[in-house]
């Protein structure tokens, strides 16, 4: 089993106990990494899958009980100053990070009739501008603080598919896929790998019983993906053992037959 001892990892979008971000935090912490996670209660309460106001502080204590350090902050990635604020807070509370997991995302239904400029802009601001600028700020701080040859990791959670009612979300997640390969080439001299991770449909709290009936026949293993499935794959990509994997989009979908 690989170890993440003495690593500091940033995971965005760990707002809910059932979410992929939370599962990633737990997995990395169990491997020894110190954890800094972000959350944005305002979105999750009004448009996400149910806000849990006390969750971040409770979760921070849970992670610390695993023997690692942990810290967190609310972060609205649509704010232009947020990438620098996140990196400043990480360095102040834990130190210089070597792992960045871009899990936070804005998602609201949109089809060709309902898509409008404000909705498209909100998806872009969070899923693209904020996420990309956090990644480049992470890389600049990494180059500044880490000794030459230190392994670094940037991982983007991505998505795809033909859902006509998720135009803005699918579009902006697809834009990240287009970024991964060229960014991986630019950061390779710093020993930072850049990869995407597509977990497919994951039962993280948004899948209703009706959706389960729809999705289940598309999973040949007989079950729908869980947040822990994604967390295990991402933990490997975050480890030193994955150093030769970069510029890739990993489809970790359990053989999902959908597109």
- Write down how long the chain is: 259
CA–CA separation, 244 and 233 (whole Å): 15
Sheet holding 8-11, edge to edge: 70-74, 34-39, 8-11, 99-102, 152-157, 192-198, 249-251
CA–CA separation, 259 and 170 (whole Å): 12
Contact present, 233 and 250 (Cβ < 8 Å):
yes
CA–CA separation, 130 and 36 (whole Å): 17
Percentages helix, strand, coil for the chain, rounded to the nearest 5?
45, 15, 40
For residue 124, indicate whether it is catalytic. Answer: no
H-state helical runs in the chain: 20-30, 41-46, 55-64, 82-93, 117-123, 131-145, 167-187, 209-215, 227-238
CA 30, distance to chain mean position in Å, is 18
Considering the candidates 106, 112, 124, 169, report the single residue annotated as catalytic: 169
Tracing tokens 């850049």 back to the chain, one arrives at 194
| Catalytic sites, residue numbers | 169
């Amino acid at each position: 089993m690989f170890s993440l001892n003495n690593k500091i990892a940033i995971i965005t979008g760990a707002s809910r106990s059932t979410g992929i971000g939370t599962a990633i935090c737990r997995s990395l912490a169990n491997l020894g990494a110190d954890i800094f996670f972000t959350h944005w209660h305002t979105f999750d309460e009004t448009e996400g899958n149910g806000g849990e106001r006390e969750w971040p502080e409770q979760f921070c204590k849970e992670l610390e009980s695993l023997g690692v350090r942990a810290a967190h902050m609310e972060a609205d990635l649509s704010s232009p100053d947020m990438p620098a604020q996140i990196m400043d807070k990480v360095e102040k509370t834990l130190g210089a990070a070597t792992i960045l997991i871009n899990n936070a995302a804005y998602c609201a239904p949109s089809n060709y009739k309902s898509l409008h400029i404000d909705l498209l802009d909100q998806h872009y601001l969070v899923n693209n501008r904020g996420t990309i600028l956090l990644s480049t700020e992470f890389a600049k701080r990494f180059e500044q603080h880490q000794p030459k040859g230190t392994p670094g990791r940037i991982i983007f959670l991505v998505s795809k598919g033909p859902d006509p009612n998720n135009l803005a979300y699918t579009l902006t997640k697809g834009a990240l896929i287009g970024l991964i390969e060229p960014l991986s080439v630019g950061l390779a001299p710093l020993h930072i790998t850049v990869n995407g991770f597509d977990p497919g449909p994951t039962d993280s709290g948004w899948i209703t019983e009706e959706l389960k009936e729809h999705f289940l026949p598309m999973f040949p293993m007989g079950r729908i993906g869980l947040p822990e499935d994604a967390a295990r794959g991402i933990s490997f990509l975050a480890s030193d053992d994955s150093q030769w994997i970069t510029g890739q989009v990993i489809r970790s979908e359990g053989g999902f037959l959908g597109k």
